[in-house]
Amino acid sequence: MRRVTLTQFLIEQQRAGRTSPDLRLLIEVVARAVKAIAVNVSKGALADLLGEAGTDNIQGEAQKKLDVIANEILLQANEWGGHLAAMASEEVEEVHQIPFDYPKGGYLLLFDPLDGSSNIDVNISVGTIFSVLRFPEGIKEPTEECFLQPGREQVAAGYALYGPSTLLILTVGNGVHGFTLDREMGSFVYTHPFMTVPVDTQEYAINASNARHWESPVQRYVGELQQGRTGPRGKDFNMRWVASMVADVHRVLTRGGIFMYPLDEKCRDQGGKLRLMYEANPMAMIVEQAGGSATTGRQRILDVQPEKLHQRVPVILGSTHEVERVTAYHLES
């Protein structure tokens, strides 16, 4: 069997006119950083990498040692290649400028370096999420404003899942493609072509401990699922919640399902729990590219006009018929 590597895949995409040489370089550099993060994640306690770093990030959350390391790896790997105008990270308050002695390029890279970091110390899967935007033309210095583009403007999005295998899932706007890290060879191998999310499902994912805080459309929707085959849906539903968005979304991408982190009374003041620019938008692009849907309950995620870099948003994504149903409940209420 012919083994296609990420590099070969990207060169073929470039030949077909779907990526520019700079976007190919950008994705290759992110993939290289992901390999380095995977090494650190897998070392865990052997390298004293578990636990807290003793600092807080912009969201006021305690940073784990691996949050800090993953962030540093991504920033350093992407600074010098000449493909980026600037970067933004969940772990950094301001826009990260490219050092003045390096060339600058036409793209903006946003990332959550280590998503699901509450799972690090218990050895459960975590991930990296990234989004690529174009640097608007005619602007000299990248500012926060340049990043505030709706998710439909993304030119690429992806995530890495550090699980039993390390996977890289990618879209450049031509379907969703998955690669598995071959640790001996040190390369990503094309293992999951054109991933699709089935339109129907019998599996849902939500943190049910927040049930009393949910809005009524979510209470109605989940209540109906829980009634199973004797309720209005006429079938049983299973539930899963890893509490690593990357792992939960990857399950949806692999076998269907609906993932929800909706607005609730606990996160209402912040606008939601998950971050729009480097969590919701890239996942929404991936899920839509795989034939699924992604909304806030009230509008398509990719149409949300961002107002702040670290903005939060409600997230409902996955199998289209289920996302449409719970969105309709929101719009009716």
Annotated binding site for substrate: 115-118, 207, 273
Listed ranges 114-122, 134-142, 180-188, 189-197: which one lies at the site for ligand AHM (CB under 6 A) = 114-122
Q: Which does 244 bind (CB under 5 to 8 A by kind): ligand AHM, Mg ion, none?
A: ligand AHM
Q: Nearest approach, Cβ of 123 to Mg ion (angstroms)?
A: 18
272: left (phi over 0), alpha (psi -120 to 50) or beta: left
CB count in 10 Å sphere of residue 322: 28
**Count of chain residues binding ligand AHM (CB under 6 A):** 12
Q: Which residues lie across from 108 on neighbouring strands?
A: 86, 133
What whole-number distance in Å separates Cα of residue 75 and Cα of residue 86?
10
**Residue of the chain from 69, 245, 280, 323 that contacts ligand AHM (CB under 6 A):** 245
Q: Is residue 207 close enough to count as binding ligand AHM by CB under 6 A? A: yes
- Measured from each CB, the residue nearest to ligand AHM is 245
Alpha-carbon distance of 110 to 95, in angstroms, equals 10
Which pair of structure tokens corresponds to residue 33? 């950083």
Angle between helices 21-43 and 65-79 (to 10 degrees): 150
Q: Please tell me whether residue 200 binds ligand AHM under the rule CB under 6 A.
A: no
How near is the Cβ of 112 to ligand AHM at its closest, in Å? 5
Q: Can residue 116 be called a binding residue for ligand AHM (CB under 6 A)?
A: yes
Q: Based on the number of CB atoms within 10 Å of its own CB, is 100 exposed (0-12), middle (13-18) or buried (19 or more)? A: exposed
Q: Check residue 112 for interaction with Mg ion (CB under 5 A).
A: yes
Size of the site for Mg ion (CB under 5 A): 2
Residue with tokens 């806030």: 296
Neighbouring residues of 298: CB distance < 8 A, sequence distance ≥ 6: 327, 330, 331
Half-sphere exposure of 37 (CA within 13 A, CB side): 38
The nearest distance, CB 161 to Mg ion, in angstroms, is: 13
**What is the x/- site pattern for ligand AHM, positions 9-48, by CB under 6 A?**
----------------------------------------
Of 41 and 98, nearer to Mg ion (C-beta) is 41
Give residues in contact with ligand AHM (CB under 6 A): 61, 112, 115-118, 207, 243-245, 248, 261
Give residues in contact with Mg ion (CB under 5 A): 112, 115
